[in-house]
Amino acid sequence: MKVYIFVDMEGISGISNSEFVMTNGRHYGLARRYYTDDLNACVRGCFAGGATAVLARDGHGSGDHFLWAELDPRVEVVQGGTGTTRLVGIEECGAMILLGYHAMAGTPGALLEHTYSSASIQNMWLNGRPAGELAFDAAIAGEQGVPTIMVSGDDYVCREAEDWLPGVVTCQVKQGLNCQAARLLPRPMAHALIEERAEKAVRKALRGEIAPFVVPPPVTVRHEMMERKGIPAAGSSPNLKIIDGRTYEYTADTVEKAFFGLC
C-alpha cells in the first residue's frame, strides 16, 4: 500500500509561533529542518507498518519547504503550487496522513489556528458545519476512496481529528497554550511518537479498520472573508451564491469542485 503524507508546518514538532512558519520569519530556517525531520520520522513509521511506498506533498504556503537532500531516500515528493488539484497523486494511494496540521480558525487556545489563510479567511463551512483544513483535505481524499489514518499536531487539532474522523490515529507532539505559544515535547520523544503512531496507523489501514471520510453530494462550501474583499463577482458561476458583503458559497457534486468554485 502506498501512503500519501500531506505535510503542513504549523503542527510540526518544535514550532511554537509565527516566526517559524513565515518565509521571512526569524526561525524559518530551523522550521524547514523540523519539517523535514518530522516527515522522515513519519516515513520510517509508514514502512515499519507495512507501506510499500510513500508520496509526500509539501503543503505549506508555496509548497517548497522540504530540505530535499535530507529526506528519507524512499519518499517521493510533490512540491510547488498545484492549482485546483489539492492532493496530487492521491488516487495512487491507499491511505493518507495529515502531518503537522493545526486547528480550524477561531479555535480558542490552539497554536496558529486558521483555515487556509489567516490574512483573508475568517471561517469556512462544509455542508453547514464549521470546518478547517483537516476536514476539507480528509473529504477530498475520501472522494478517491482514501481514508485519513493519522493526524499530528497540537492537542486541539488532535481533538478536531477525532471529532471528524472515527478511528483515526492522533499524534500530539505539543500542547497549544495560545495562538503564539506551545508546550513542546522533547525532540527525540516527538520523533519517536510520530514514528510509532504512523506505524500503528498503517497497520490499522491494512486491516481495513479506518473508513474514508465521505461527504454525500451535493456539497456546499461557504467562505467568510476577513474584510469586504475577495468576493467573486455575482453571476460568475452557476454554482455561486453570494450571502453578504464578505460571505459566499459554492455548491457542486464533489468537495474539491465546491472548494475551488468549479462548475
pLDDT tens digit string along 155-168?
999 999 999 999 99
Domains, the chain: 2-116+130-206 (3.40.50.10780), 219-260 (no CATH)
Cell of residue 49, nine digits? 507498518
Closest CA to 163 of 126, 192, 205: 126
Beta sheet of 129-130, edge-to-edge order: 129-130, 121-126, 219-225, 247-252, 240-244
Instruction: Give residue 125's pLDDT.
Output: 98
pLDDT tens, residue by residue, 47-106: 999 999 999 999 998 889 999 999 999 999 999 999 889 999 999 999 999 999 999 999
Cell of residue 19, nine digits? 516566526
Instruction: Give residue 263's pLDDT.
Output: 62
Percentage of the chain beyond pLDDT 90 is: 90
Mean of the per-residue pLDDT values of the chain:
96
Q: Is the bond preceding residue 218 a cis peptide, omega within 30 degrees?
A: yes
